[in-house]
């Protein structure tokens, strides 16, 4: 038989007909091969049949089989092949050795028939018998695919999820359940997955979308589990519709955006109003101070009393505004701390000098216990002062007789972040009940020393103090009992 007749016979076979030399280099590529694998003749000739159409994980086995065929003369088997687009297919292969026609030695004739659909139906029948009852008991949609990407089993939940009738998904390519933009990438992902199969938990992958039969898309999450049986390798996909969750997330994002906008408006309002309110209040405080100093002239007793009331109210309102601004800054995370060297002794002495008139007006002693040499460390001077002023002012406010003592000490071992500066404020006041201690550091919480005498203040002092202490990396504690006074201590890291 001459070569022309042989070539004509090979081309008449509808299946893929490939002739390769002993090294696997392709020397004939039929029309059936072009149609089945997607490579043109000039793309195939001269290339290794193994590298061109055999999946990476099976190439070593394929080379061994090629050698066996040359030694034994023929072989009939089933295998998996890879098309030019990366998709996989199942083929029945008939290998026959041809006599040598030149120095390249014997040739191998491979006739490869696409049996993907037949194998899918066979696998579907086997898997149906084994797993149908189990898969129907799960709430998620379950789709089982083989190595070529065809569905061999889908439970009723999956059929309902994608809008298909019972049995319609069996034997179909799994890619049909994906929107068009995702399909091409999915072919590569699927091939890689079968090279290195591993479990993937629900929700651990990228955002995915599914495509229903009616063409609508929906968000989903998926888990993957490899399944190895004597009938081959499969992947079990659990699929969950997350449309409702995504809708809730979008609503939350919109709400968060609205809240952020409202928060910005609030910050702008507070910044504007603080300037507008502070300016006249400072003027009122300043002018009443001048009048009380009697610089413009003498005052009657009633005038002096009324001016003190005005000045006290203005100072109270200014303190309220400052507290509210501090709360707003803390809530929005805009507290700016500046670490600098702090002389803790000097800081406490300055605070005592400021508060001593208030204590003396009530007949209370203001005592100091300071270490020698002075305690020096890096912290935020302004924040630390505000904390101690709040604690000491409260102590004086709730103490009717006795004393208030401010003490400073270094505690803990040096190094490894162990040393702390401890500042304590101890009073001989009315003390705090256990019930009140539970809410002591809450915003707008106030402790009433005497129900018949409502306590002045915003209820923000201790709340702000604790927030600032935490911002400095420290802690604040309270030890108290009703009728036995109180001890507030703050501990700030020094190392």
Q: Is the pTM for the entire model greater than 0.85?
A: no
Higher local confidence (pLDDT), 149 or 188 = 149
The per-type count for the chain, helices as H runs and strands as E runs, is 14, 17
Residue 452 — pLDDT band, cuts 50, 70, 90? Answer: low
User: Residue written as tokens 């190895």?
Assistant: 228
* pLDDT tens digit sequence for 62-99: 889 888 888 888 889 988 899 998 888 889 999 999 88
The CATH classification number of 340-493 equals 3.30.565.10
On the 0-12 / 13-18 / 19+ scale of CB atoms within 10 A, 339 is exposed
Say what percent of the chain tops pLDDT 90. Answer: 31
Higher local confidence (pLDDT), 352 or 271 = 352
Res. 454: pLDDT tops 90: no
325 vs 274: CA distance, rounded Å: 8
Q: What is the pLDDT of residue 463?
A: 86
Res. 457: pLDDT tops 70: no
| Residues forming beta bridges with residue 20, ordered by sequence position | 26, 108
Domain positions in the chain: 3-114, 119-241, 263-331, 340-493
214 vs 390: CA distance, rounded Å: 67
| Same fold flag, 119-241 and 340-493 | no
Res. 426: pLDDT tops 90: yes
Pairing of strands 217-229, 151-154: unpaired
How far is Cα of residue 176 from the mean position of the Cα atoms in its chain?
32
Residue count of the chain, please give it: 495
What is the token pair recorded at 313?
Answer: 């109210």
* Spatial CA neighbour of 493 closest among 466, 467, 475: 475
Quote the CATH superfamily of domain 119-241: PAS domain (3.30.450.20)
Pairing of strands 365-369, 403-411: parallel
Determine contact, residues 193/174, Cβ cutoff 8 Å: no
Quote the CATH superfamily of domain 3-114: PAS domain (3.30.450.20)
* Spatial CA neighbour of 103 closest among 22, 24, 45, 25: 22
Res. 19: pLDDT tops 70: yes
CB < 8 Å & 24+ apart, contacts of 317-321: 317/277, 317/281, 318/278, 318/281, 318/282, 318/285, 319/458, 320/458, 321/274, 321/277, 321/278, 321/281
* Spatial CA neighbour of 47 closest among 26, 20, 22: 26
């Amino acid at each position: 038989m001459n070569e022309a007749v042989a070539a004509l016979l090979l081309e008449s076979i509808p299946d893929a007909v490939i002739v390769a030399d002993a090294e696997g280099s392709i020397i004939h590529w039929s029309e059936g091969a072009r149609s089945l694998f997607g490579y043109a003749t000039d793309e195939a000739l001269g290339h290794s049949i193994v590298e061109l159409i055999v999946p990476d994980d099976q190439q070593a086995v394929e080379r061994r089989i090629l050698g066996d065929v040359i030694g034994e003369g023929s072989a009939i088997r089933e295998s998996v092949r890879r098309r030019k687009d990366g998709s996989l297919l199942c083929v029945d292969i008939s290998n026959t050795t041809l006599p040598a026609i030149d120095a390249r030695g014997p040739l191998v004739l491979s006739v490869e028939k696409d049996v993907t659909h037949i194998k899918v139906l066979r696998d579907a029948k086997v898997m149906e018998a084994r797993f149908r009852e189990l898969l129907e008991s799960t709430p998620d949609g379950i789709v089982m695919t083989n190595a070529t990407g065809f569905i061999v089993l889908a439970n009723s939940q999956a059929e309902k999820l994608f809008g298909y009738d019972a049995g319609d998904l069996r034997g179909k390519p799994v890619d049909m359940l994906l929107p068009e933009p995702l399909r091409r990438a999915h072919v590569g992902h699927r091939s890689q997955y079968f090279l290195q199969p591993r479990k993937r938990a629900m929700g651990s992958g990228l955002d995915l979308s599914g495509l229903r039969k009616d063409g609508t898309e929906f968000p989903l999450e998926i888990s993957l589990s490899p399944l190895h049986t004597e009938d081959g390798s499969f992947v079990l996909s659990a699929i969950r519709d997350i449309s409702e969750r995504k809708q809730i997330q979008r609503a939350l994002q919109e709400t968060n955006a609205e809240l952020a906008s409202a928060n910005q408006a609030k910050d702008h309002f507070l910044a504007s109003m603080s300037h507008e309110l502070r300016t006249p209040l400072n003027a009122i405080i300043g002018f009443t101070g001048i009048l009380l100093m009697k610089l413009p002239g003498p005052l009657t007793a009633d005038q002096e009393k009324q001016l003190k009331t005005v000045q006290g109210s203005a100072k109270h309102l200014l303190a309220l505004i400052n507290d509210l601004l501090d709360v707003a800054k803390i809530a929005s995370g805009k507290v700016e701390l500046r670490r600098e060297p702090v002389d803790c002794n000097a800081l406490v002495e300055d605070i005592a000098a400021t508060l001593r008139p208030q204590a003396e007006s009530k007949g209370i002693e203001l005592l100091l216990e300071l270490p020698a040499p002075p305690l020096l460390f890096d912290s935020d001077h302004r924040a630390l002062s505000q904390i101690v002023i709040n604690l000491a002012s409260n102590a004086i406010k709730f103490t009717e007789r006795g004393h208030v003592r401010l003490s400073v000490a270094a505690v803990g071992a040096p190094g490894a972040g162990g040393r702390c500066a401890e500042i304590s404020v101890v009073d001989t006041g009315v003390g705090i009940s256990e019930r009140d201690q539970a809410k002591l550091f809450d915003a707008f919480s106030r402790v009433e020393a005497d129900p018949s005498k409502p306590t002045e203040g915003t209820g923000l002092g201790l709340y702000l103090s604790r927030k600032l202490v935490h911002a400095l990396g420290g802690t604040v504690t309270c030890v108290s009992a009703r009728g036995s006074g109180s001890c507030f201590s703050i501990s700030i890291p020094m190392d």
